[in-house]
């Protein structure tokens, strides 16, 4: 049994709005989410610039080692149950309470495992400092386990304003604590404190926003389909996580903490903000597409439109980062991180391919294709291991190049497979991706040429690259299909802002 303390009824967790209301709420949710993500992105860039000047590459390398292990635990902690709750056709209060206690119990077990296993982690990486760091970060499993179903409930009800405010506030407080601790000479403990503050504050905000207290769980058989869905999704997420961290593990074992710090700062400077921009769209797209399962034509239209929006907003950013990677690193991280520039350029290519592939994950999750997603993730992992380990023979830059090549190979395979599994309009997606890359590649190369020709300050080089990229994209508007794509992006933006 569970107690509902707010006015939210059971029907509100299971009912679906009509199609017009769904479109309006999705557009409004997108505008709220991206406003919040803009704030988080600015905060991320500012905090990166400050902390990079207060902490050493080794500090960041140590955190990256611990987080590579903690991230694996986080997947088991969630067990895919958050997404299972979001995409379920109906969800009563007994089921919700059962899912809460499952997530909390798994989080508590993982906290204990991390506390006991910290010496083994430290021994495996060869850094005794990791014992204390792992002990502290172990409690994020419990905090995040308790928060999982609170957040899932808000996302299911399309309450994106609340989740966005929670994300921004927790990140702000985490950054403030990290900078304060770094100024006091705490070193890597400043980064540990940041993680703990974000998890703790985030949980408190979610509890106060939902005003729901889970008491006795319902029968486990009532959530067995969700557990099955969650298991397949968690398995896929685990493989995807290993896919994303093959480079981190390779660098840590082959090159050590300081080189890992250099690599991870480049990765975090680019891929973390990119993830912050892409990730929340999953919380909008999956519930919306799940409710449109009975209307596949309309659902497919959302997927095609999602690729267009990503392709003409985020991919141009990747083109600019490729062009001005070294000036960007100098501006935001400082000269001690100069080796990171070529790494960021290579990762920008990976970011572009991953962004184009991202809409595929919406389809796998919304249509309940988690077993197929798991098999695709295994194939993608095999490709990534071969590319990254092979690239590591050429040093840090080789790792980054291998990381970039892998999604370029895996993304077309995903699109081909989804085209066989579903009625996804793969021809439209192929042609759309071709137009996106036809703009991005020449823009990146022209921007890079401008940087190479200008022997001046990093800021001037970056601005010149931005201007060059902008000119190429402006010229691309002369092509009618590209002009139509961009018009669609602006139409969606106007609709979102109007809500």
pLDDT at 499 over 70: no
pLDDT (tens digit per residue) in 262-291? 888 888 888 888 887 787 777 777 777 877
Mean pLDDT of 395-421: 90
Structure tokens, 244: 């994303």
Q: Give the mean model confidence (pLDDT) for residues 18-25.
A: 55
Q: Which two tokens stand for residue 253?
A: 């074992």
pLDDT at position 148: 85
- The predicted pLDDT at position 26 comes to 60
Query: Residue 116 belongs to what domain range?
Result: 1-228
SS3 3: strand
On whether both 34 and 154 belong to a single domain, the answer is: yes
255 within some domain: no
For residue 454, give the DSSP letter. Answer: -
- Is 278 domain-assigned? no
Is the domain of 174 the same as that of 64?
A: yes
Q: Is the pLDDT of residue 162 over 90?
A: no
Report pLDDT for 13. 44
Task: Enter the pTM of the model.
Answer: 0.70
Same domain, 146 and 28: yes
Q: When comparing pLDDT for 39 and 63, which is higher?
A: 63
Neighbouring CB atoms inside 10 A of 499's CB total 14
Looking from the CA of 27 toward its CB, the CA atoms found within 13 Å total 18
Q: How confident is the model at residue 328 (pLDDT cuts 50, 70, 90)?
A: very high
pLDDT over 90 percentage in the chain: 34
Is the pLDDT score of 314 beyond 80?
A: yes
Query: Crossing angle, helix 224-255 and helix 57-78, to 10 degrees?
Result: 160
Assess whether pLDDT exceeds 50 at residue 11. Answer: no
| CA nearest neighbour of 404 among 379, 383, 378, 435 | 383
Structure tokens at 19: 């199609």
- Provide the domain count of the chain: 2
- Please state the rounded mean pLDDT for residues 77-93: 76
Residue 437 within a domain: yes
Say how far apart CA 328 and CA 429 lie, in whole Å.
32
140, 34: one domain: yes
Residue 494: CB atoms within 10 Å: 10
One domain for residues 305 and 220: no
More confident of the two residues 326 and 36: 326
CA 428 from chain centre, in angstroms, equals 25
Q: What is the pLDDT of residue 28?
A: 65
Q: Would you place residue 310 in the very low, low, confident or very high pLDDT band (cuts 50, 70, 90)? A: confident
Q: Are residues 342 and 438 in the same domain?
A: yes
Residue 451 has pLDDT above 60, yes or no: yes
- Domain boundary among the residues 180, 202, 228 is at 228
pLDDT at 337 over 80: yes
Residue written as tokens 């250099």?
262
Co-location of 141 and 31 in the same domain: yes
In a domain, residue 488? The reply is: yes
The overall average pLDDT reported for the chain is: 84
Q: Would you state the structure tokens that stand for residue 255, as one six-digit string?
A: 């090159």
Report CA 73 to chain centroid distance, whole Å: 17
Q: State whether residue 212 is helix, strand or coil.
A: strand
| 208 lies in the same domain as 303 | no
Q: What percent of the chain has pLDDT over 70?
A: 92
Indicate whether 319 pLDDT > 80: yes
Model confidence at 421: pLDDT above 90:
no
Task: Identify the domain boundary among 185, 206, 228.
Answer: 228
Residues 87 and 5 in one domain: yes
Contact between residue 318 and residue 351 where contact means Cβ atoms under 8 Å apart: yes
pLDDT band at residue 320 under the 50/70/90 scheme: very high
Of 133-142, 353-362, 411-420, which one has max mean pLDDT? Answer: 133-142
Does 166 have pLDDT greater than 70?
yes
Q: Does residue 238 belong to any structural domain of this protein? A: no
For the chain, state the CA radius of gyration. 22
Is 296 within 8 Å of 67 (Cβ atoms)?
Answer: no
Indicate if 69 and 154 belong to the same structural domain. Answer: yes
Q: Count of H helices and E strands in the chain?
A: 19, 2
Of 193, 208, 228, the one marking the end of a domain is 228
Instruction: Examine residue 162 and state whether it is found in any structural domain, yes or no.
Output: yes
Those residues with Cβ within 8 angstroms of residue 116's Cβ, 6 or more apart along the chain or in another chain: none
Q: 181 in a domain, yes or no?
A: yes
pLDDT at residue 6, rounded to an integer:
37
Cα separations in angstroms, 385 against 370, 403, 406: 22, 9, 9
Residue 446 has pLDDT above 80, yes or no: yes
Q: What is the mean pLDDT of residues 231-236?
A: 74
pLDDT above 70 (res 2): no
180 and 65 share a domain? Answer: yes
Q: Do the Cβ atoms of 172 and 205 come closer than 8 Å? A: no
The tens digit of pLDDT for each residue in 128-161 reads 999 999 999 999 989 988 888 888 888 777 777 8
Q: Is residue 233 included in any domain, yes or no?
A: no
Secondary structure (3-state) at 1: coil
User: Any idea which residue has 């590459």 for tokens?
Assistant: 57
Say whether both 216 and 312 belong to one domain.
Answer: no
Rounded to whole angstroms, how far apart are CA atoms 464 and 448? 10
Confidence at residue 25, expressed as pLDDT on a 0 to 100 scale = 61
pLDDT at 4: 36
For 390, the token pair is 């092979």
Report, as an integer, the average pLDDT of 252-271: 85
């Amino acid at each position: 049994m569970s107690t509902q303390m707010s006015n939210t009824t059971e029907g509100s967790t299971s009912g679906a709005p009509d199609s017009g209301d769904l479109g309006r709420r999705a557009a409004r949710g997108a505008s709220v989410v991206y406003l919040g993500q803009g704030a988080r992105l600015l905060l991320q860039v500012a905090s990166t610039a400050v902390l990079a000047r207060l902490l050493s590459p080794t500090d960041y390398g140590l955190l990256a080692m611990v987080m590579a292990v903690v991230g694996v635990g986080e997947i088991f902690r969630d067990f895919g149950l958050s997404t299972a709750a979001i995409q379920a056709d109906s969800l009563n209060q007994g089921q919700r309470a059962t899912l809460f206690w499952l997530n909390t119990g798994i989080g508590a077990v993982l906290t204990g495992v991390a506390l006991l296993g910290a010496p083994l982690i430290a021994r495996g990486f060869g850094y005794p400092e990791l014992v204390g760091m792992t002990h502290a970060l172990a409690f994020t499993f419990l905090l995040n386990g308790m928060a999982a179903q609170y957040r899932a409930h808000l996302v299911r009800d399309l309450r994106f304003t609340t989740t966005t405010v929670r994300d921004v506030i927790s990140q702000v407080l985490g950054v403030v604590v990290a900078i304060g601790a770094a100024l006091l000479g705490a070193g890597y403990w400043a980064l540990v404190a940041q993680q703990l503050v974000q998890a703790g504050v985030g949980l408190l905000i979610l509890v106060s926003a939902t005003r729901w207290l889970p008491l006795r769980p319902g029968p486990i058989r009532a959530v067995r389909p969700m557990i099955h869905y969650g298991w397949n999704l968690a398995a896929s997420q685990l493989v995807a996580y290993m896919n994303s961290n093959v480079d981190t593990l390779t660098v840590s074992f082959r090159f050590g903490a300081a080189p890992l710090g250099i690599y991870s700062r480049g990765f975090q400077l680019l891929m973390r903000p990119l993830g912050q921009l892409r990730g929340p769209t999953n919380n909008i797209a999956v519930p919306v597409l799940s409710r449109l399962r009975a209307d596949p034509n309309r659902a497919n239209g959302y997927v095609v439109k999602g690729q267009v929006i990503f392709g003409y907003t985020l991919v141009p950013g990747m083109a600019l980062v490729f062009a001005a990677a070294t000036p960007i690193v100098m501006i935001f991280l400082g000269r001690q991180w100069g080796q990171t520039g070529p790494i960021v350029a290579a990762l920008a290519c990976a970011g572009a391919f991953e962004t184009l592939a991202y809409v595929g994950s919406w389809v796998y999750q919304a249509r309940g294709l988690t077993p197929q997603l798991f098999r695709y993730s295994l194939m993608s992992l095999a490709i990534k291991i071969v590319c990254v380990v092979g690239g590591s023979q050429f040093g840090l830059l080789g790792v980054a190049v291998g990381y970039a090549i892998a999604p370029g190979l895996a993304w077309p395979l995903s699109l081909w497979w989804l085209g066989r599994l579903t009625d996804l309009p793969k021809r439209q997606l192929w042609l759309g991706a071709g137009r996106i890359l036809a703009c991005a590649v020449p823009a990146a190369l022209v921007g890079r040429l401008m940087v190479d020709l200008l022997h001046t300050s990093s800021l001037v080089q970056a601005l010149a690259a931005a201007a060059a990229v902008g000119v190429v994209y402006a010229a691309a508007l002369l092509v009618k299909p590209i002009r139509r794509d961009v018009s669609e992006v602006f139409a969606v933006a106007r609709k979102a802002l109007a809500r």
